[in-house]
Amino acid sequence: MTQYDSIYITADIRWHKQYYPLLDRQVFSIDLITDGLIFDSVWNIQGTGQNLYVSDIFLPLTDTLLQEGVYQLDSIPSAFTILPYKDFEGGRPTGCYMIDIANNSVNKIFGFVTGSMLVEYLNATDIRLEFSLYTTDSVHYRAIYQGPFEYND
């Protein structure tokens, strides 16, 4: 079992108010990048590093912010769950995955099928996100983000 560890420096948290209009859940996503990567003016990732993308984070309909607690990867969209990785429409990743980028090009995509995310608010402007994720071949991936946050929609 290989283990990968990453410290993320930028977090973009999004609240998708109308993402699943027929689902009785709030949906969030988190986009994290390591040092060495930037988003250019048209939102393409440039540089060398890792991009952890966590889409489809579900909470009760009454929540408009991520709640503190542990979220589990699960294919059923219930409260405090994250959809696992899925190859969508023949080559487009969705769910929870990490892209390893070398010199502006995708080197490898790690799709996570089990694991968890811990959310803690440190104060009014800082959040801590801690990930323990596993691929289908049991590669363990740990990642942390600690710093400022803001919600976008």
Q: Which residue, among 62, 82, 61, has the nearest Cα to 70 in the 3D structure?
A: 82
Say how many residues make up the chain.
153
109-139 residue pLDDT tens = 999 999 999 999 999 999 999 999 999 999 9
* Calpha distance 80→117 (Å, rounded): 9
Q: For residue range 43-58, what is the model confidence (pLDDT) as tens digits? A: 788 999 999 999 899 9
- CB atoms inside a 10 Å sphere around CB 86: 16
> Whole-model pTM?
0.89
pLDDT in tens, 43-96: 788 999 999 999 899 999 889 889 999 999 999 999 999 999 998 777 788 899
Beta bridge partners of 34: 8
Distance CA 140, CA 84 (A): 14
Q: Chain-centre distance of CA 22, in angstroms?
A: 23
Q: How many CB atoms lie within 10 A of CB 60?
A: 12
